[in-house]
Amino acid sequence: MSVLVTDQNAAATATIETAVSDNPEALAAGGVLTIDLAALRANYQIISKAISPTRAAAVVKADAYGLGADKVAPQFYAAGCRDFFVAHLSEALKLQPHIGKDAVIYVLNGLQPRTEKLCADSNIVPVLNSLEQVRNWVDLSRSLNRKLPALLQLDTGMSRLGLSEQELQELLANLSLLEAIDVKFIISHLAAGDNVQSPQNHAQLERLQAALKLLPHYAVAFSNSGGSFMEHNYHFDLARPGIALYGGAPQENRPNPMQPVVSLQVRVIQCRTVPANTLVGYGGSYETKAETRIATIAVGYADGWPRHLSNKGSAWYGDVRLPVIGRVSMDSITLDVSALPEGTLKLGSLVELIGPHQTLEQVAQEAGTISYEILTSLGNRYHRIYINDILA
């Protein structure tokens, strides 16, 4: 469920409640997830400026971090992006109709066997992470009698994807494999780019530079969101930011330079007053110490709100913090709303879970996870509002 708000002035001044008050689908949903497309475009420009003259790509895997690649990717394209990264070939195929034909889509996980022809026919560029993937792509190139484009990933210390040092040596011993394809970039991935103090960053950079001395001259893509705000020697020719584009902090323990993209408001289902020594929620994990006003809201772990926030975390109403009490259930959470005047919250009232009073990072920290997981877990039961869409 989604609606586009195209009047920027109205969207900026109207409350969420007013924006959805006459929309039956919005009223039927448990909450409202607002995605600010202007903030997405601004974040792309912030990163582009930080890494200039390096080019900025956009990582739009996992349905643009759960926000809808069909809505999000065109905004990055309008902001000047022409390089898009996804994780799977299936994601690339779905994304293609939504961006210009001059854009290039890269598949980070590379290709599964017998999908190479589909990828080549679709003009999608795979990342080759192993000798097996290299050989499969070379076989297709030779059968078609043309050099197919690809990215070659080197493992510089993350031990996740990419050619190991031994595999690189095997490849260098058979340069005819590289000569059979069109390597657009050598890539690697920073494992600790969000922590500028980590010695792993410099160690990976040194390993990448050593490997590049052994290879023919290729363009290089290395930095992720965190790396985009590190020294320029990490930037090379192409950066591929992800979480920072969506408002997440690119680096730990530093001010977040990105604009917030999402806000989340959830509806009240029921309010009640209970006496002291009342058990709340599954397992009676919380017991009231005094008479307490409780509001139950329409969100739970089925909507991506972590169960780890049971008996911790909060919602907000205006400037008032409303602590979570009891366990997070599949479809509901209970809040202590005693700090609000009685009658303030009613059936259908909206409370803030992500917004000016509570950032993605704050929610993630309280849940013992990272902003990536919070953002990509937000479910499809929220009513979605896309504001500031210059393409509508």
| Residue carrying structure tokens 């582009």 | 48
Per-residue confidence at 15, pLDDT binned at 50, 70, 90?
low
Residues 42 and 146 in one domain: yes
Catalytic residues: 61, 282
Q: Are residues 144 and 112 in the same domain?
A: yes
Which range marks the domain in which residue 170 is found? 37-246
Amino acid type, 337? V
pLDDT digits over 47-68, tens only? Answer: 999 999 999 999 999 999 999 9
Domain boundary among 246, 270, 295: 246
Which of the pair, 182 or 22, is modelled with greater confidence? 182
- pLDDT tens string 325-378: 999 999 999 999 999 999 999 999 999 999 999 999 999 999 999 999 999 999
Nearest residue to 55 via CA among 196, 222, 213: 222
Domain tally, the chain:
2
Residue 41 falls within a domain, yes or no?
yes
Q: Give the domain-ending residue among 224, 246, 268.
A: 246
Nearest to 266 by CA among 38, 1, 8, 34: 34
Residue finishing a domain among 216, 246, 276:
246
Within-domain flag for 146: yes
DSSP-derived secondary structure for 278-337: -EESGGG-EE-SS-EEEEEES--GGGT--GGGTTS-EEEETTEEEEB-S---SS-EEEE-
251 is a domain residue: no
pLDDT in tens, 251-263: 999 999 999 999 9
The string of pLDDT tens digits covering residues 21-36 is 788 888 888 999 999 9
